Structure formats: structure tokens, C-alpha cells
Amino acid sequence: MRVHRHHQWRRDPDGTAYRARRSFPAGPPNSTVLLAGPGSVSLLDGEGRDDALLDSLTARLVASGAQVLRCDMPARDRTTPASAADERIRAERLERLLDGNRHLMTGSLSLVGFSLGGQALLRLLESGSPPRADRVVLIGTVVETDTFLTSRVPLIELVYGGFDLVGYLADESDDALPPVVFEPAMYADWSARHLIGTHSPAVRVHVLDGLGHTLNPCGPGPARDPLPALTTLVGVTS
């Protein structure tokens, strides 16, 4: 199926310009998907592995009848951890993206976030925007503290690559302690327990073998194609 695209230039409150994109099928869409990429992706027309995965997922969702909303994000220094400011500006752009396309939305609404994009979505849902989403899919998003969602979200899908290892350094006061590394089998469950809210969302965990943090092939052995699983979890049906 051919993917139709419409671009629109927008501005942050400080005047920074960025592009918003709506990808849609030829006929009326059956659902809407907001897609928030990881911190490695800043432009809609990037050429990295994560960009290629987002483009492939967009094409697959549109082929299933959905319209997909995405926007440029600020470039960030990938050698340093993401900050609260990184989450905030992404959440604000995603909120404006939803508001600007509200008149075009139809069917169910799914929110999909990769890594930092997932953290930005959680910040939105804590604030109650949007008031309701039919499901939320968070990829490579580790939740370390209780996150209280005020938006009405019946279902949250947590998705991790089997080789997505998370490391923590020991306390600076005790140099004798080695770093601690957790695999998804451990941290996925406590991430799920930290997602709470007014409407008590159901949370399910999925670990995809052979994949890394943003679901690209990683490590030895065969890697699972993440696209069929993600399309199913988003809830888009032809």
C-alpha cells in the first residue's frame, strides 16, 4: 500500500522550527498512532538504524489502515544521559502534535514510544494529556520510580529486547562495589509495578529475543523481526 505523507512546519514557544508529519493510507484511516522515537532520532528523514525501524513500522501501520503522527525532535548529546529537559521538550512537541491533528483523528488512539520517546509519553500521561488513549506501547523504557498516570489508559505494553541490559554504578562512597547489570527478566517486572494511575491500567511485559535497546538485532544468534509483534501490540488491524 502506498504511504501518503503530509508535512507541516511548527514552532516551539522559543521560536525553534520543526516538522510534523502525518502518514496515512489512501482511504479513511481506521485508527491513529502517535509514534515517538528514541533519543538517537531527531529528524524525520534520518538514515540510522533506528530511523529505518521507525520508517518500516510507519509503513506497516499505514498498510494496516492506520494514520501515523510523528515530528522532529531536538538533537541531543548521546554521550550523556537524557535529562528532564529532554523529556519535557519532547512531551510538549508530542502534545502539540496531538492537538494539531485532533480534528483528523478517527478510530482508536495508540501511543508508541521508544526509549526517551517512551519517557516523554509517560510525562504526558502523568499530566493527563491526552485524556484517554486506547493503549500505550513503550519500547526499551525503564521505569525506576512510581509513575502516576492521570490519563485513562486501559492497557500498557512494555516491550524490551532480550539483550537490552541496564547497568547501575555502585555508590560513590564504596569504590569496592562493582557495577550491577540487570537483564529484562528482572527490571521489566519492577518497571511494570511502577506504572500506576487513577484508572489502574493493565500492564503486560514482552521480551523479544535477539534484539537490543531499540529492537535492532544485537548479540549472537538469530534475531526476531520486531515489526509483526509491534503491529499486533499497537492494536492495528486491517
Task: Enumerate the domain spans of the chain.
Answer: 4-234
Confidence of residue 221 (pLDDT cuts 50, 70, 90): confident
Domain 4-234 in CATH 3.30.420.40? no
**pLDDT the model gives residue 237:** 67
As a whole number of angstroms, the distance between CA 20 and CA 38 comes to 16
As a whole number of angstroms, the distance between CA 115 and CA 162 comes to 15
Q: For residue 180, is pLDDT > 80?
A: no
Q: For residue 76, is pLDDT > 90?
A: no
The mean pLDDT of the chain is 92
**pLDDT the model gives residue 173:** 54
Q: For residue 43, is pLDDT > 90?
A: yes
As a whole number of angstroms, the distance between CA 53 and CA 90 comes to 19
The shares of helix, strand and coil residues in the chain, as percent rounded to the nearest 5, are 30, 30, 45
Quote the Cα angle for 95-20-236, to 5°: 75
Q: For residue 238, is pLDDT > 60?
A: no
Confidence of residue 184 (pLDDT cuts 50, 70, 90): very high
State pTM to two decimals: 0.93
